[in-house]
Amino acid sequence: MSASILMIITTILLVLVAIANASNVTPLSIKLSLTDTEGEMQVTWFTLDFPSSPCVQFDNKGFNPSEVTGNIITGRIVEFTQKLWSGYTSIAVISPLAAQQTYYYAVGNKETGVWSVLYNFTTSTFPNTNSQVTPFSFVTYGDMGAVVDNSTVRNIVKTLDQFQFALHVGDIAYADLQDGDEGIYGNQTIWNEFLEEITPISATIPYMTCPGNHDIFNGNNSNYQNTFMMPTGSDNGDWYSFDFNGVHFVGISSETDYSPSSEQVIWLTNELQTYRNSNPDGWLIVFAHRPLYCTSNLDWCMNDTNRISLINSLEDLFYKYNVNFFIGGHSHEYERMLPVYKSQVYGSNANPQATVYVVIGTAGCQEGLNTGFQPLPVYSSGVRLLETGYAKVSFLDSYHMQWQFIQDKTDTVLDSVFHKQLHNLVWTIAILVNQT
Ligand SMILES: *[C@@H]1O[C@H](CO)[C@@H](O)[C@H](O)[C@H]1NC(C)=O
Ligand SMILES: *[C@@H]1O[C@H](CO)[C@@H](O)[C@H](O)[C@H]1NC(C)=O
Ligand SMILES: *[C@@H]1O[C@H](CO)[C@@H](O)[C@H](O)[C@H]1NC(C)=O
Ligand SMILES: *[C@@H]1O[C@H](CO)[C@@H](O)[C@H](O)[C@H]1NC(C)=O
Ligand SMILES: *[C@@H]1O[C@H](CO)[C@@H](O)[C@H](O)[C@H]1NC(C)=O
Ligand SMILES: [Fe+2]
């Protein structure tokens, strides 16, 4: 064989190796998430191979990622190490960002020249934390799962420009449901398929989550934590808070110890108290996977002792610190309560004197919907639906919020109601008394 033929073969081999390497650091599962700091946007993505120096390129105008003309920020890397899982999450925080501004970005690697396509996102208003609401909407749902029925994703993608962020209240991909002993470790193929499916949402608006029971593999949720990098509340983001356009959101984990003396509940008490002390009139929304109130025929919604413990641990806090809204999933149904405390109605939607609880476990997971309801309790609004769909939540100003349930099948609104945030005189007085 002549030297020149050898050289050609070697060159071809090198090119093939380069292509193979390049494809293994292709950014997959691209997701935005909010941080707890103004002027930041976090982006995370998955690669099969070690990404060596992952980075994000961004600018306030469009650009061609391969020309590398945007601002570059280098990320950090987390590796999936558990049995049957492999690959890497890259995490980069884009900043500083201006308020209410559209930015373009691509993720990849400056050295290998492998980049994602160009995406864009729009920032919220700053400051976020003074409880003066700048109108916005977000989309929320729980219990989704991959591939089986993606009509929720399809409908949201069609109307994505209406939403400033997505809130997925646990039971993300149902990657724990499969035949065989290995099921307990969670199936990364299913996990990644789900992440690809939601990319049209998650690469354009922040995708905020909390853990559900189906996000735990072999006793812990470290794969969830290696995928969804939530703000630093505690326990690797299992509980956290963030502010958006003047509304305060607090996420907690119903899959972690929630006894009154637990680290989580101590954190939550401090979190709610701190917020309310400086924002007597602010909208305060708490979310978790499992609901306190739900009335389907799911075991959890019957007199499950763990649900009673959840109520005993949290309900007084929600009442005391005037949590306006609680969003949960887990029960595969849509259900909206009236303002309720200790199973009694307090006020009305127009004059709420307790927390309003909503269940939105309807994003179409493969387990299907629940099959029925218990007798209607006094604290129910009477709206209980066994339909797949999602909620659109719109803050109209500092005192008015519109909550809507949109059915997948017809893409129409089946439930629409206004909620009011009152000037909370009781709270204002309590704070004044506290301060003297
Ligand atoms: C931002 O991305 C979305 C989703 O890909 C796209 O529909 C929209 O046109 C983009 N907006 C701008 C301003 O480029
Ligand atoms: C994971 O799910 C995929 C897709 O359903 C399947 O082909 C594969 O066998 C599963 N993996 C394991 C380890 O069970
Ligand atoms: C939904 O599923 C269909 C059929 O499997 C697929 O063609 C389509 O791309 C999916 N849409 C989204 C948004 O994932
Ligand atoms: C989570 O479970 C996996 C699989 O059993 C184990 O390898 C890992 O150490 C656990 N992680 C934590 C933080 O407990
Ligand atoms: C739960 O317990 C209460 C109080 O004992 C009882 O009134 C109610 O009927 C029970 N509900 C269910 C669904 O078992
Ligand atoms: Fe669940």
Whether 1 is in a domain gets the answer no
CA distances for 124 relative to 40, 58, 283, 382, 421, angstroms: 10, 17, 16, 35, 21
Give the closest residue (by CA) to ligand 1 atom 11. Answer: 120
Is residue 141 domain-shared with residue 99, that is, in the same domain? no
Q: Which atom from ligand 5 is nearest to the alpha carbon of 303?
A: 1
Q: Which atom from ligand 5 is nearest to the alpha carbon of 302?
A: 13
The CATH number given to whatever domain includes residue 222 is: 3.60.21.10
Residue type for position 227: T
For the chain, how many structural domains are there in total?
Answer: 2
Q: Which atom from ligand 4 is nearest to the alpha carbon of 82?
A: 7
Whether 309 is in a domain gets the answer yes
Whether 235 is in a domain gets the answer yes
How many C-beta neighbours within 10 Å does residue 206 have?
A: 24
Of all ligands present, the nearest one to the C-alpha of 154 is: 3
How many C-beta neighbours within 10 Å does residue 54 have?
A: 27
Is residue 87 domain-shared with residue 216, that is, in the same domain? no
The residue whose CB lies within 8 Å of the most ligand 3 atoms, and thus the one to mutate among 148, 149, 154, is 154
Of 74, 100, 122, the residue that ends a domain is: 122
Of 122, 149, 176, the residue that ends a domain is: 122
Low-confidence residues in the chain, pLDDT < 50: 15-17, 20, 431, 434-436
| Phi, psi (degrees; rounded to nearest 5) at 377 | -80, 165
Ligand 3 centroid from CA 154, angstroms = 7
* Distance, CA of 248 to CA of 127 (rounded, Å): 12
Give the closest residue (by CA) to ligand 1 atom 10. Answer: 120
Is residue 277 domain-shared with residue 402, that is, in the same domain? yes
Whether 103 is in a domain gets the answer yes
302 lines ligand 5 (CB under 6 A): yes
Render the burial of 157-184: b for 16+ CB within 10 Å, e for the rest.
eeeeeebbbbbbbbbbbbbbeeeeeeee
Q: Are 247 and 133 in contact (CB under 8 A)?
A: yes
Is residue 308 domain-shared with residue 428, that is, in the same domain? yes
159 lines ligand 1 (CB under 6 A): no
**Ordered DSSP codes for 310-327:** HHHHHHHHHHHTT--EEE
Ligand 6 centroid from CA 332, angstroms = 8
Is residue 165 domain-shared with residue 252, that is, in the same domain? yes
Q: What is the pLDDT of residue 85?
A: 93
pTM exceeding 0.85: yes
Of 88, 122, 156, the residue that ends a domain is: 122
* Distance, CA of 292 to CA of 327 (rounded, Å): 10
The secondary structure of 31-100, three-state, reads EEECCCCCCCEEEEEEECCCCCCEEEEEECCCCCHHHCCCEEEECEEEECCCCCCCCEEEEEEECCCCCC
The residue whose CB lies within 8 Å of the most ligand 2 atoms, and thus the one to mutate among 176, 188, 189, 217, is 189
Spell out where 83-223 has E strands.
Answer: 88-94, 102-109, 114-115, 119-122, 136-141, 165-168, 207-209
* Distance, CA of 85 to CA of 192 (rounded, Å): 11
Q: Which atom from ligand 3 is nearest to the alpha carbon of 153?
A: 13
Q: What is the pLDDT of residue 90?
A: 97
Is residue 103 domain-shared with residue 148, that is, in the same domain? no
* Distance, CA of 279 to CA of 293 (rounded, Å): 26
Ligand 1 centroid from CA 367, angstroms = 34
Q: Could you tell me which residues come within 8 angstroms of residue 127 by beta carbon, excluding any fewer than 6 positions away?
A: 38
Ligand 5 centroid from CA 304, angstroms = 10
Is residue 109 domain-shared with residue 160, that is, in the same domain? no
15 lines ligand 5 (CB under 6 A): no
Q: Which residues line the pocket of ligand 4, CB cutoff 6 A? A: 82-83, 218-220, 222
* Chain segment 369-399, per-residue pLDDT in tens: 999 999 999 999 999 999 999 999 999 999 9
Ligand 6 centroid from CA 361, angstroms = 8
* Distance, CA of 44 to CA of 237 (rounded, Å): 14
Range of the domain at 83: 26-122
